[in-house]
Amino acid sequence: MKNYFKILRPGINSTFQDTGRFGLQHLGIAPSGCMDKSLFFLANKLVGNEISEGALEFAYQGPLLELVGESALVAVSGKVNFNIINNNGEIKQGIPYESFILSSGESLDILSTIDSVYGYLSIFGGFKLEKTKGSISTLVRAKIGSNNGEKLRLDEKIFFNKSSQNSKINKFKFDFENDTTIRVMKGLQYDYFSKKSQGDFFSKEYEVTKLTDRMGMRLEGKKLENMKSKNIKSEGITKGSIQVPGDGQPIILLSDHPTIGGYPKIANVITADYDKLVQKTPGSKLKFKLTDLSVAESAFKDYIKKLNFF
């Protein structure tokens, strides 16, 4: 176990993630998994891994890590400002979407994501992680998964598998989706809301607030008026559901969502727009656009096609 990263700064919310942990929602275990699947896949492809290999996800400010041991092929995906610091302390600006060799003693300083929230660090051969009930994903709230279910912490070591075989540099061009329209389908309790509020939901802007994390995104905007009942019988939750509690301000449930919830849901974000959604920073303004199942399914086809293109 001589190949590892030493964590010199953990970052704000750095966790190991893969595509998620499934089949346990009936015991209250959320799927979790990477927030932005496109960037996660891309990070793995850049270093030649299987696309489902565990990667390090960071939000806003990422970690500062020093490589100890053999050099390794690594890559950063996302709109990310990062530096590579060599043994002499010289600083070189890093380039996202381009894999590179990091040598022993060199550090990777992931300073921040730019106008976005999440980015990924991958390494050829993968990090040394153990699966818990089928996945390496970390669910911090329940202390489940890699790194004892915790975010990265200062001074800890994260080990990776020996990776010297691959030194093939890959480079992709990735266009971030900047538009602010999020397509949704009607939620199970859409009819609970007044005609006026249904209209407001699709015409007014909603602002992403600071109370946003891997579990949910709280929005602020025109109050949504519930005409029927502010409480429903608690029912299973699906990622991307937009629930509206009694105060009339919507909350979008994200990857670490509660498995069951008792607030009415006005809409559901379609899968093809989820990656775009989770990258919206607090203060961003969103607009929701109503769509139907057939449009959502064909948008998903295009989304997958785009992912497979890389």
Partner 1 sequence: MLKKISNIGDCGITCDFGDEVNKKTNKEVIKLFNFIDESVKNKKIRGILNYTPSYNKLIINFDLEQVKSKELIEFIKSNDYSKTIFSEQSKILEIPICYDEEFALDIKRLEEKTKLNFNEIVKEHQNTDFFVYMIGFVPGQPFLGDLKNNLYHDRLDTPRVKINKGSVGIVEKFCTIYTFESPGGWNIIGKTPLDLFNIKNKESSLLSPGDSVKFKSVKKKDFLTFKNEELF
Q: Interface with partner 1 by CB under 8 A: which residues?
A: 20, 22-29, 31, 132-133, 141-144, 149, 184-185, 187-188, 211, 230-231, 233-241, 245-247, 258-263, 268-271, 293, 296-297, 300, 304
Q: How far is the CB of 23 from partner 1 (least distance, A)?
A: 6
- 216 φ, ψ (degrees, to nearest 5): -165, 165
Q: How many C-beta atoms surround the C-beta of residue 66 within 10 A? A: 18
In terms of CB distance, is 87 or 231 closer to partner 1?
A: 231
Q: How far is the CB of 28 from partner 1 (least distance, A)?
A: 4
In terms of CB distance, is 28 or 199 closer to partner 1?
A: 28
In terms of CB distance, is 91 or 260 closer to partner 1?
A: 260
Please name the residues in contact with 126: beta carbons below 8 A apart, sequence gap of 6 or more: 49, 53, 54, 160, 161
In terms of CB distance, is 165 or 234 closer to partner 1?
A: 234
Assign 81 to helix, strand or coil. Answer: strand
Q: How far is the CB of 209 from partner 1 (least distance, A)?
A: 12
Specify whether the CB–CB gap between 229 and 264 falls below 8 A.
yes
Specify whether the CB–CB gap between 130 and 144 falls below 8 A.
no
Q: How far lies 81's CA from each of 12, 62, 76, 103, 307, in Å?
A: 15, 10, 10, 20, 23
Residue 239's nearest CA partner among 78, 34, 54 is: 34
Q: How far is the CB of 26 from partner 1 (least distance, A)?
A: 5
Q: How far is the CB of 287 from partner 1 (least distance, A)?
A: 18
In terms of CB distance, is 173 or 233 closer to partner 1?
A: 233
- 53 φ, ψ (degrees, to nearest 5): -60, 140
Q: How far is the CB of 251 from partner 1 (least distance, A)?
A: 9
In terms of CB distance, is 104 or 259 closer to partner 1?
A: 259
